[in-house]
Amino acid sequence: MRAVPGAPATDDSTTLLITLTGRDRPGVISAVFSRLAAYGVVVLDIEQIVLRRRLVLGVLVTAPRDWKPMRTAVEGLAAELDLQVEVDRGTGDNRPRPEGRSHVTVLGMPLRPEAVAAIAGRITGTGANIDRIERMARYPVTAIELHVSGADPVVLRTTLAEEAAAQAVDVAVQPASLVRHGMRLVVMDVDSTLVQGEVIEMLAERAGCLEEVRGVTEAAMRGELDFEESLRRRVRLLAGLDAAALDAVYDDLLLAPGARTLVRTLSRLGYRFAIVSGGFSHVTDRIAKDLGIHYAAANELEIDGGRLTGGLVGPVVDRAGKADALRRFAAEVGVPLGATVAVGDGANDLDMLAAAGLGIAFNAKPVVQEAADTAVNVPYLDAVLYLLGISRDEVEAADAREGFTTPEPLLG
């Protein structure tokens, strides 16, 4: 931080770092600064944390010419408040933090000390420094955010990805910039991301062709078919199925845990949501309406006489189509691609994840986790909030004001 213009501090001036620790109580801040006010100091920096009612307060001030009476006064106050105090003398203001600042979010179920030690060690190994740590969530996952300086975020991401895999935790690295605060569009895959399971398999089970549909899916995963051909083959197997099965499947769908919390919370903050799916619009349009999602893109099944014909109407929403939809929705919202977040789990989501400002692989296939900016492998979709700097405490406080309770309802 920089000294206040006109303050008695100069680059050569003496500063004091006053550190108070002990049990937190109301009025500590007011008492400390009231006592300091009698000595003509200028405040240069303040940091405070409270962990289970234990206070750590650090205050950096310019030192008066004769600063020992001030130290004595602060020590007396600390004794009155039953706090421990240290007063360290230095020269000048805080040194500027090194270039290369990042937010490093760590998620664990549970978060073990050896994982924290390994991640911190890797950060140190890059020559970086952890400037601050704050808790984002304590349940159902533990999430902490580390403010790191002194390393290129790309290098840090690569280094920590290796350690995250070894420690079985999730680690997300994002550059510290205004872009993070400007994220305003979230685009999500549907099957196995927003909802649990695969809609086409649920339809196939009702049509009596589940094994045949799975066989086509496996052929596509082996690279023998592209997505469009595999989709058309699977849809042909559904020919003759009563269209009422679409409503029955919708009624049986379960949202991913935390889906409603994610949408509700970010909607309060002015975000816009979109879902893009290689599935079917009859289902995704209803999901969008149920959750208050603003945009949806999916494939349209051809229906004639109340039954599926086995065909599709219009162009197929495939891997490229999902990325195109993200770009289209961003243009409609009026945000740059750098201000978008994409969440998906399959190879069909790769282009969309690459096009977004932040691509998140959610319980994804290994190839997707390797390609995405970050991966979340806990089963709670609202863990995405922690990557955006929103804590569980903030979510619960907002829900309490509006009368929401947990657990959140499932779809249907």
Residues annotated as catalytic are: 189, 191
The burial class, CB within 10 Å (0-12 / 13-18 / 19+), for 96 is: exposed
Cβ–Cβ under 8 Å, residues 189 and 346: yes
User: In angstroms, rounded to a whole number, what is the distance separating the alpha carbons of residues 409 and 258?
Assistant: 10
Cβ–Cβ under 8 Å, residues 226 and 220: yes
User: Which residue bears the tokens 């029955």?
Assistant: 248
Cβ–Cβ under 8 Å, residues 287 and 404: no
Cα 244 to chain center, whole Å?
37
SS3 83: coil
Cα–Cα nearest to 276, from 193, 202, 214: 193
User: In angstroms, rounded to a whole number, what is the distance separating the alpha carbons of residues 320 and 314?
Assistant: 15
Give the number of other CB atoms < 10 A from CB of residue 39: 17
Any alpha helices (H) in 16-104, and if so which ranges? 28-36, 68-80
Beta strands per DSSP E along 150-281: 170-175, 185-188, 272-280
Cα–Cα nearest to 1, from 96, 92, 67, 120: 96
Cβ–Cβ under 8 Å, residues 175 and 181: no
What's 182's DSSP letter? T
What is the number of helices (H) and of strands (E) in the chain? 16, 15
